[in-house]
Structure 1
Amino acid sequence: MKSVVFVLGYLILAPFVGALLDGADRVITARMQGRKGPSILQPFYDLSKLFSKQMIAVNNVQLLLNLSYLGFIVISGGMLFGGTDILMCLFILSTADMFLVMAASSDSSPFANMGAAREMVQMMAYEPLTLLVAVGFYLASGTFHVGDIIQSDLSPVLYMPGMLLGFMFTAAIKFRKSPFDLSTSHHAHQEMVKGITTEMSGTTLGIMNVAEYYEKVLILGIFALFFINSSWWSWPVAIVLCLGIYFLEILWDNVSARLRWKTLLFSCWLVTLLTAGVNLLILILMK
């Protein structure tokens, strides 16, 4: 019953929580840059405007691919918050990313196609660490099952500090934060216009935004797994720490410049090796 409540909570509340986080992101970013910035509710206004526009897609499959992208993210998040297999959850999340790449590649825009190519590079950069994080949870708790991981006596972060640091590093890609916002960016300085979302407008762009809100909550949910244990107080602590991590991602976004794709790959793989790789080796030796 508890799993059903968590799944329904994710399905219903995640887009609202994600939009509020996006609004807070804009406000904090504006303050860091010495601007007043928009209202924290601006993402809701944007979505309302997008979904009220006439639905125009550049081809017959783009809307379907965008809906598939949203659907697989929702399924992945539902599995995580439902307490099922985290490894399968991450595999489905990767599948969702492939639908996004196909959606961007489905039109003839050079900016969208370049964004799709860069999205593939980003996937190559963060997927190895994501997989190692799932393996780390297994070695730390003896199971891939999220429902069992959160019932551990000790928080997994005590066994996986390196993986947490590595995941924080690569999460900037999933949050589309600088210096890793190569495929698309929420900032005006993107040299490819809007990259993968260049040819998306109205409903298709609205679906893309909603999917990003679901994914944002999903990624923060994975962060929460590092801190949650069988004690009730670990839940509020995990929420506070996740918000702190998100703030650090915003801060990093505002103090760093975008990297070249080769630097992105090298830095992510190096961090994966030095953090998750070493952490994984230690866990194996401990077992």
Structure 2
Amino acid sequence: MEFFEGLIITIAASVVFAIIAPVVGCLLAGVDRVISARMQGRVGPPLLQPYYDVRKLMGKEKVSVNTVQGAYVVCAFIFACLAGGIFFSGGNLLMCVFVITLSSLFLIMAAWSSRSPYSEVGASRETLQVMSYEPMVLIFAVAFYMATALILPLDGLGSFNVSSAFMLNVPVITYVWPVFIGLLFILTIKLRKSPFDLSMSHHAHQEIVRGITTEMSGPTLALVEILHWCENVLFLGWVGVFFIWGTWWSVLIAIAVALVVYFIEILIDNNFARVKWQFMLKSAWVVALIGGVNIAVLAYM
């Protein structure tokens, strides 16, 4: 019975996330464009320009290079919403990590299916990005479990459930701040911002050929943009969970920190040029090693 109740809650939360996250993500994307324009000395587009762009794409004729590309993109969107539902309903953080990675893999398969050389290069780079950030993301989930094991009065047993953060006397960042710094580093990769936007850029100033989405157009490309909005909301939620503990106003602190982090990501995006994939892979794994040291320290506390 508990299993079915949890399943119903997760599905309901995923549906709510699929409705609310695109709205919040659209506003964040609009803020990104406005701030980026100010940093570059331009007037820039209006705040709702991302919405106007997606609405225009939705009105275009549905053209696809094959019959499976759109299906892969739909699957990527569904799994992203499922990951968001798991996280924001207080579910298992480790399962959330696995599901959002599955979403990324479906997007990679969508690019590979087109057989375009530009899309294939974008898919290869996206695969490298997954290889770069995934160890740190897994370390983040394990560190959350070990931090809750130290704080919760459960005889040394931790929890992967996000809801357990509201049972803590102190936020988990007090024990895992090196992991938090590592997550901030790989967040630039997951948000596909410079200097790590190797597979696809969300700004025209980077490239004409858009890598992984080169052969996508119309409603399919619009769904990819909405998928990116949902990912942004989920990843900022990961940032905020470090600052949650057993008080209601900790949620306000978490939201404030997440917004500050998003501003820093915009700042980095507009001030650093794209690097080679070798540097991205090496630097991300060095950061993951630091996170591993943090977990080793927690194991002996």
Q: Same fold per TM (> 0.5)? A: yes
Q: What residue is the counterpart of 2:254 in the other structure?
A: 238
Q: What residue is the counterpart of 2:75 in the other structure?
A: 68
TM-superposed CA distance for 1:4, in Å, is: 8.5
Residues in 2 aligned to 1:33 and 1:86: alpha-carbon distance in whole angstroms: 38
Q: Is the 8 A contact 1:125 1:268 kept in 2?
A: yes
- Aligned: 1:283 with 2:298: yes
Distance 1:183 1:86, change over 3 A: same
Q: Is the 8 A contact 1:137 1:149 kept in 2?
A: no
Q: What residue is the counterpart of 1:125 in the other structure?
A: 132
TM-score, normalisation: structure 1: 0.96
TM-superposed CA distance for 1:151, in Å, is: 2.1
- Aligned: 1:178 with 2:185: no
Q: Is the 8 A contact 2:25 2:233 kept in 1?
A: yes
Q: What residue is the counterpart of 1:14 in the other structure?
A: 21
Q: Is the 8 A contact 2:18 2:81 kept in 1?
A: yes
Residues in 1 aligned to 2:101 and 2:264: alpha-carbon distance in whole angstroms: 24
TM-superposed CA distance for 1:111, in Å, is: 0.6
1:1-150 matches, cutoff 5 A: 9-141=16-148, 142-150=158-166
- Aligned: 1:248 with 2:264: yes
Q: In the alignment, residue 25 of structure 1 is paired with which amino acid?
A: D
* Structure 1 residue runs of 4 or more that deviate by more than 6 Å after TM superposition: 1-5
TM-superposed CA distance for 1:189, in Å, is: 4.5
Identity of aligned residues (%): 46
- What per-residue deviation string (whole Å, max 9, x for no partner) do you get for residues 162-201 of structure 1? 1110000000111110000000012334457100000000
Q: In the alignment, residue 167 of structure 2 is paired with which amino acid?
A: Q
TM-superposed CA distance for 1:280, in Å, is: 1.2
3-state SS of the aligned residue for 2:36?
helix
Q: 1:194 aligns with which of 195, 198, 210?
A: 210
Residues in 1 aligned to 2:198 and 2:11: alpha-carbon distance in whole angstroms: 37
1:252-267 matches, cutoff 5 A: 252-267=268-283
Which region of structure 1 is more displaced relative to structure 2, 148-157 or 100-109? 148-157
Q: Is the 8 A contact 1:115 1:192 kept in 2?
A: no
Unaligned runs of 5+ residues in structure 1 are none
Residues in 1 aligned to 2:55 and 2:206: alpha-carbon distance in whole angstroms: 25
Aligned residues: 285
Residues in 1 aligned to 2:14 and 2:100: alpha-carbon distance in whole angstroms: 16
- Aligned: 1:153 with 2:169: yes
1:201-220 matches, cutoff 5 A: 201-220=217-236
TM-score, normalisation: structure 2: 0.91
Residues in 2 aligned to 1:76 and 1:4: alpha-carbon distance in whole angstroms: 10
3-state SS of the aligned residue for 1:36?
coil
Q: What residue is the counterpart of 1:271 in the other structure?
A: 287
3-state SS of the aligned residue for 1:160?
helix
Residues in 2 aligned to 1:96 and 1:8: alpha-carbon distance in whole angstroms: 16
Q: Is the 8 A contact 1:4 1:82 kept in 2?
A: no
Which region of structure 1 is more displaced relative to structure 2, 56-65 or 142-151? 142-151
TM-superposed CA distance for 1:8, in Å, is: 5.3
Q: In the alignment, residue 55 of structure 1 is paired with which amino acid?
A: K
3-state SS of the aligned residue for 1:136?
helix
TM-superposed CA distance for 1:277, in Å, is: 1.8
Distance 1:67 1:2, change over 3 A: closer
3-state SS of the aligned residue for 1:164?
helix
Residues in 1 aligned to 2:112 and 2:11: alpha-carbon distance in whole angstroms: 36
